[in-house]
Amino acid sequence: MNPGMIDRLSALEEEARAEIARARSAQELEQLRIRYLGRREGVLTQLMKELGSLSAEERPAAGAAANRVKTAVSTLLEETRAGLDGGAAGGDAEDLTLPGRATWQGARHPVTLVVDEICAVFAGLGFTRVRGPEAETDWYNFTALNTPLDHPAADMHDTFYLAPGVLLRSHTSPVQIRTMQEYAPPIRVLVPGMAYRRDPFDASHAPAFEQLEGLAVDEGITFVDLKATLAEFARGLFGARTTVRFRPSFFPFTEPSAEVDVSCILCGGAGCSACKGTGWVEIMGAGMVHPAVFESVGYDAERYTGFAFGMGPARIAMMRYGIPDIRLLYEADVRFLEQFA
Ligand SMILES: [Zn+2]
C-alpha cells in the first residue's frame, strides 16, 4: 500500500471540487477539465502514470482510487456544465455583442382587422358592439326572426343541429332578438361573430364564417335613416367618393329588404374584372325590421321602427386585400398571415 499516493489523490479531488465550484462559465470548466484530466498534461493523468512505478501489491488499491477520482471529477464537470446551460449561472458565458433573436409577435387576422375597422366606423354613428352565443335554439335563430321552421333555411340539410331544437346559429341575427329582449329602445348595436351553414368549403364558401350585422330601433326611424347610415359607413370604410346602390331583395325578418352594393373600390365604378364590368360590388343585405320580429320580443310595432343589415367581413377582406380564395383565411398559414401584421 502506498499511503502517499492515496493521500495525493484525495488532495487532488478536493482541490478539483473547489475549483469546479468556483467556475462560472463553460470555458472555465473546459480549462479545468484540461488541467485535471487532459490526456497529456492533466494533473490526474500525470499521477496515474506514476501507478506503474508502484509495487504489485500497492497498485490495485491506488489504481482503484485513481479511477474513482477521475470518474468523480469528470462527472462533476459534466453536471456543472449542464447546470450552466440550464441558466443556473450565466456569467461571462453570454456574448452580449451578438445580435438579438427576433421574437414571435402575434398580429390580428385580416378578417379581425376588417371587423374592427367596420366597428370603428359604426361607433362614430353611435353603434355599440355586442356578442351572443354561437349555439342557439331554433326559436332565436328562426322563429323569432319571422322564419318558420318549415322554411328551407331551417332544413336539417342546411343547418348544423346539435340536438333537437338546438343548432349552431346560421347567422348573427339571434343576437338582435337577445338584445331587444334585454333592452328597451332606442337601440343601436353592431354584432360581429361566427355563423355556420352547411356550405361547401370552396374558394368562395366556408361552413364557418364571420358575420357582422347591425340593428337600430327607435321611434321614427325610416328607410332614409337606413340609406344614410349605410352610405356614411361605405364612405368611412371604402373612401369618401364611394357611393351605394340599393336593389330590392327579400329576407323574412325585414320588410322592405334590399341588397346593398358599393361602387367598385378598384375601378371607381368604371367597370373592371373585380366587379365583373358592372362598377358595383355587393357587400350586404339590409332592410326595415319586420313588425313580426318586434312582436316576438314584445316591442310595440306601432310605436317603434328600425333597420337591420348584415355583411360578411371575410368577403370585404378578400375584396380589400385582393385575396382570391376564402380558404386562405382559415388555413392559419403564417406565411400568408404575416403579410397583414
Ligand atoms: Zn371594378
CA of residue 264 to ligand 1 center, whole Å: 4
CA of residue 262 to ligand 1 center, whole Å: 10
What mean pLDDT value characterizes the chain? 90
The lowest-confidence range among 81-90, 115-124, 174-183 is 81-90
Q: Give CA separation, 142 vs 87, 153, 262, 297, 301, in Å.
A: 60, 9, 29, 13, 19
Confidence of residue 266 (pLDDT cuts 50, 70, 90): confident
Mean pLDDT, residues 312-339 taken together: 90
CA of residue 279 to ligand 1 center, whole Å: 5
C-alpha–C-alpha distance, residues 48 and 74, integer Å: 15
Asked whether the predicted pLDDT for residue 93 surpasses 80, the reply is no
Confidence of residue 175 (pLDDT cuts 50, 70, 90): very high
- The pTM of this model reads 0.69
Q: What is the pLDDT of residues 22-81, one digit of tens each?
A: 888 888 899 999 999 988 888 888 888 888 888 888 888 888 888 999 999 999 999 888
Residue 151: per-residue pLDDT: 79
CA of residue 251 to ligand 1 center, whole Å: 27
Q: What is the pLDDT of residues 205-256, one digit of tens each?
A: 889 999 999 999 999 999 999 999 999 999 999 999 999 999 999 999 999 9
Listed in sequence order, the residues at least 6 apart from 171 whose beta carbon sits closer than 8 Å to its beta carbon are 141, 195, 211, 213, 310
CA of residue 260 to ligand 1 center, whole Å: 16
Residue 41: per-residue pLDDT: 84
Confidence of residue 1 (pLDDT cuts 50, 70, 90): very low
CA of residue 242 to ligand 1 center, whole Å: 12
Q: Report how many helices (DSSP H) and strands (DSSP E) the chain contains, helices first.
A: 11, 10
CA of residue 339 to ligand 1 center, whole Å: 24
CA of residue 263 to ligand 1 center, whole Å: 8
Asked whether the predicted pLDDT for residue 99 surpasses 90, the reply is no
Grid cell 306601432 is found at: 302
CA of residue 281 to ligand 1 center, whole Å: 8
CA of residue 199 to ligand 1 center, whole Å: 27
Q: From 110, 96, 119, select the one nearest 213 (Cα to Cα).
A: 119
Asked whether the predicted pLDDT for residue 86 surpasses 80, the reply is no
Residue 2: per-residue pLDDT: 53
Confidence of residue 96 (pLDDT cuts 50, 70, 90): confident
CA of residue 233 to ligand 1 center, whole Å: 19
Q: What percentage of the chain has pLDDT greater than the value 70?
A: 96
Q: What is the pLDDT of residues 187-207, one digit of tens each?
A: 999 999 999 998 888 888 889
Confidence of residue 118 (pLDDT cuts 50, 70, 90): very high
Degrees, nearest 5: CA angle 27-32-38: 110
CA of residue 42 to ligand 1 center, whole Å: 81
C-alpha–C-alpha distance, residues 259 and 280, integer Å: 12
